[in-house]
Amino acid sequence: MTDTLVGSRPAQKRKATQRRSARRHRLMVLGIQALVIAAVLVAWELASGRVVQELLISRPSEFLPALWGWVTDGTLLTNAAATFRSAGLGLLCGGLLGILVGVVLGQAKTLAEIFEPMITALYTMPKHALIPLFIMWVGIGSGLGVLTAAVIVFFLVFFNTFFGIREVRPSLVNSVRIMGGSEIDVMLRVRLPSALIWVVAALKLAVPQAVVGVVVAEMLAGDSGLGYLVARNAGMFNSAGTFAALTTLLIAGFLIDRLMSWVTKKPLEWKNNNSAM
Amino acid sequence: MTGQGTIFEVQDLAIGFGERDDILHGVDLTIDRGEFLTLLGPSGCGKTTILNLAAGLLRPRAGHVRFAGEPINGVNRNVGYMTQDDTLLPWQTVQANIGLPLRMRKVPKAEIARQVGRYLEILDLGHAANLLPGQLSGGMRRRALLARSMIYEPKLLLMDEPFAALDAQMRHQMHIELRETVKRAGQTVMFVTHDITEAAKISDRVLIVGGGPPGGIVAEYRLPFGVERDLDALRFTDEFARVEQELNRGLLDARSKATADGGGNGS
């Protein structure tokens, strides 16, 4: 017991020192990032109207108050909610369909031989080029964003689920069967968890891609949303409004990336721990 | 050999697959309940094929393969199979992995917890119960696999070079733990290895597989060490050295036979 206590003190001290050092490093990085952003904003402010026409690049002292105005009058919340609602629904529909088709084709070899090349061919098409077709199908509005996001997400999730199911080591499947597992056990305890890691990896890409799809759809034919804000302000040569909308997208994109990293950290933990897989 | 009835039996077996359609031919083999049988032979001689037949993962081209007197049709759920490959589910903790066979067999939760706790203790894995396989050392992974293979009390435990990836010291430790665990449970084991020392240390009986292709059982040795054996001391005795020499001679004879028959894939 004494040995343990004596032995653990230096280790605890070392860990505390490492934690303090890591915190200091993080603060330093954040400080430098804040300085870089401030420097860019100051340079932008000074260059606007002097080096580059203000109409082309606006200026921080114009678009930041415009952005704050949208925050206070609810414009930002309404349009951001419209964008994320469409992206969320698209993610749900496209994701579920991608998982379902991925599981079915991952299990059925003949079906996979028939359909996988067709799905691959469709995947190679630029999805945004389909938006005019989607407008004919569902018209202008939130349905367009949902459909665009769903199509983008479907392919990403399908391929990851399909290969996740197919890539399961036969030895894992055989071991579960020998231990008394049914085909349902094989699916629920081996194939799906094994594919989950691929699906989670796909979601890291699919979520921001779904938002991009919705924004593009809103820009082309929307009546609300962040993409609509960008297109409307640009169409009126309101550069402050355009940059305010773009800044919103920038911040939203950053937050989504961080959120997905946080959400996927736990499911990816075993993968990071396992060198054998 | 304890001799309490045959659990696994192969008669006049022939098997092959793919480009190798004559891996084994004319194989006769039995293993009795409670026996520790080792198949010893060079890599590629068909040892693993025999284990896969016992597990129902392969079917013979000719001959009979019976388990507890019944022909094996499909996956044999009465065996435990510990392969060279790490088959722990990497997303489940050690205790979840060990309890997996019981969960699939719908054993009540309290009983699963009791059995898992018992095996964690027997194999000294208590401190690692909540770790993921990726956080374990090679030896700990092997112990967790052994626990998972034994927890549902399979009638026959198949072990395919399970300790091949471990260093010599860890392998010796695993031999001691395996012998003790198997003895305690009265477990029947069919073990595969190409390591003469390993075969001599842990087996009740050794069959030399080789002489091909097509290969077969070319020699049989009953080891004189008894059920109770001190593996630390045993490996330094003259008798152990003599058994090792005999097994080595058996392997060399099998190789000569293969060469004389025009086979001898040299693997």
Band of pLDDT at residue A274, cut at 50, 70 and 90: low
- Give the best residue of B87, B97, B105, B158 to mutate against chain A (max A CB count within 10 A): B87
Asked if pLDDT for residue B59 goes beyond 70, the answer is yes
Q: Is A185 on the interface with B (CB under 8 A)?
A: yes
Residue given tokens 């030896």 in the structure block: B139
pLDDT 10s digits, A67-122: 999 999 999 999 999 999 999 999 999 999 999 999 999 989 899 999 999 999 99
Per-residue pLDDT, A151 = 95
Residues 6+ positions from B170 with CB-CB distance below 8 Å: B138, B139, B163
**Pairing verdict, β B36-40 and B62-67:** unpaired
Assign residue B98 a region (left: φ > 0; alpha: ψ between -120 and 50; beta: otherwise): alpha
Band of pLDDT at residue B3, cut at 50, 70 and 90: very low
Q: Is B166 on the interface with A (CB under 8 A)?
A: no
Per-residue pLDDT, B130 = 94
Asked if pLDDT for residue A150 goes beyond 80, the answer is yes
Look at residues B264, B256, B219 and name the one whose alpha carbon lies nearest to residue B40.
Answer: B219
pLDDT 10s digits, A167-199: 888 999 999 999 999 999 999 999 988 888 888
Q: How far is CA A237 from CA A52, A67, A242, A244, B153, in A?
A: 16, 16, 8, 13, 77
Distance from CA of B79 to the nearest CA of A (A): 7
Angstrom distance (rounded) from CA B146 to CA B158: 10
Per-residue pLDDT, A162 = 93
Number of H helices, E strands in chain B: 8, 10
With beta carbons under 8 A apart, name residues in chain B contacting A183: none
Tokens of A29: 């990085």
Q: Is B127 on the interface with A (CB under 8 A)?
A: no
Band of pLDDT at residue B260, cut at 50, 70 and 90: low
Instruction: Quote the DSSP letter at residue B9.
Output: E
| Contact check, Cβ <8 Å, A178/B133 | no
Task: Please tell me the least confidently modeled range out of A215-229, B230-244, B245-259.
Answer: B245-259
Angstrom distance (rounded) from CA B9 to CA B28: 8
With beta carbons under 8 A apart, name residues in chain A contacting B148: 179
| Contact check, Cβ <8 Å, A176/B57 | no
With beta carbons under 8 A apart, name residues in chain B contacting A271: 90
Asked if pLDDT for residue B213 goes beyond 80, the answer is no
* Predicted complex ipTM exceeds 0.95: no
Asked if pLDDT for residue B214 goes beyond 90, the answer is no
| Cross-strand pairs, B207 | B39, B220
Do the beta carbons of residue A242 and residue A234 sit within 8 Å? Answer: yes
Name the maximum alpha-carbon separation found in chain A.
77
Look at residues B219, B228, B222, B224 and name the one whose alpha carbon lies nearest to residue B250.
Answer: B219
Instruction: Quote the DSSP letter at residue B128.
Output: G
Angstrom distance (rounded) from CA B239 to CA A185: 49
Distance from CA of A266 to the nearest CA of B (A): 11
- Taking CA atoms, what residue in B is nearest to A183? B104
CB-CB neighbours of B166 under 10 Å: 17
Per-residue pLDDT, A112 = 93
pLDDT, chain A, mean: 88
Band of pLDDT at residue B116, cut at 50, 70 and 90: very high
Per-residue pLDDT, B258 = 64
**Mean pLDDT in residue range B109-132:** 92
Name the H helices within A139-185. 142-166, 170-178, 183-185
Angstrom distance (rounded) from CA A100 to CA A7: 53
- Give the best residue of A169, A173, A179, A272 to mutate against chain B (max B CB count within 10 A): A179
- Taking CA atoms, what residue in B is nearest to A188? B104
Do the beta carbons of residue B93 and residue B130 sit within 8 Å? Answer: yes
Angstrom distance (rounded) from CA B127 to CA B125: 6
